[in-house]
Structure 1
Amino acid sequence: MKLQPDKFDVQSINGYGPGWVTIEGEKTHASLVISAQGERFEWNCTRFEELSPEHFAKLAELDAEVVIFGSGKRNRFPPVAWLKPLIAKRVGLETMDTAAACRTYNILAGEGRRVVAALLLEAD
């Protein structure tokens, strides 16, 4: 699906599909973290089963009020114990499939929120 906002002044997701996203015209097939504040880096996982507490601890280091976790092709929840660093910093976490996470990130980023999207990109 291609997304075409009127105009974004923040880093936005322009399109997504199975195993890929396009950010600011650059297509990637690797899981990544993106923030409305301009941060973008690989998230070093290709499957939900590869996630660990360290993946979520890294998210707590970012300046966010909410993290949108795109859990791949379907909605899956990380163990609550992994979220302790986010809870300690009072950062909210919303979990949804990656397609929904892309759409939600764009809406919140467009509203000027301090949002981070952690997107698990699973190949077919």
Structure 2
Amino acid sequence: MKLHLTQAAGNQLITGHAPEWVEVNAQRYHGSLLVLPNLLVTDWQVADFDALTVADFERIAELAPEVVLLGTGDKHRFIHPRLTTSLTARGIPVECMTTAAACRTYNILMAEDRHVAAALLVNPAAS
């Protein structure tokens, strides 16, 4: 699915997605990634939802976002609170949703100048 926004003002904009890829600023990525308005992290080495660890969320907490949108893949799933203690301790909420919903929501919040982080689980084998 292609996503459209009139302008990104130099920010990281999610321009499309499918189960096996996410497109940021018209560049396609085939693995899980972290997207913030001013930063794109392509080496977020999370294979799938069941592989998420406390360390994965500690890495996000170090980026100090205002809110985290966790894109859980094709299915809406909820994470165990013990995984996000580093975020909770800093008062950073985590919203779980499908990756497609996280992409759309990220663009809306980013366009509102919010310091949002989209933690997107992408399954390159989903094709």
Shorter-chain TM-score category? over 0.9
1:86-106 CA-to-partner distances (Å, cap 9, x unmatched) read 011111111001000000000
Is residue 53–residue 83 contact of structure 2 (8 Å, CA) maintained in 1?
yes
> For 1:20 and 1:84, how far apart are their aligned partners in 2?
28
Tell me, yes or no, if structure 1 residue 8 matches structure 2 residue 20: no
The count of aligned residue pairs is 124
**1:80-95 aligned within 5 A:** 80-95=81-96
Gaps of 5+ in 1: none
Contact 2:71 2:98 in 1 (8 A): yes
1:45 is matched with which residue? Answer: 46
Structure 2, gaps ≥5 residues long? none
Name the aligned partner's letter for residue 109 of structure 2: L
Q: Which piece of structure 1 moves more, 106-115 or 38-47?
A: 38-47
Q: Which runs of 4+ in 1 moved over 6 A?
A: none
Q: Distance in 2 between matches of 1:115 and 1:36?
A: 7
Partner of 1:63: 64
What TM-score do the two structures reach when normalised by structure 2? 0.93
- The 2-side partners of 1:86 and 1:37 are apart by 19
Distance 1:105 1:33 in 2: 11
Equivalent residue number for residue 107 of structure 1: 108
Deviation of residue 41 (structure 1)? 2.9
When the two structures are superposed, what TM-score results if normalisation uses the length of structure 1? Answer: 0.95
Shift of 1:47: 1.5
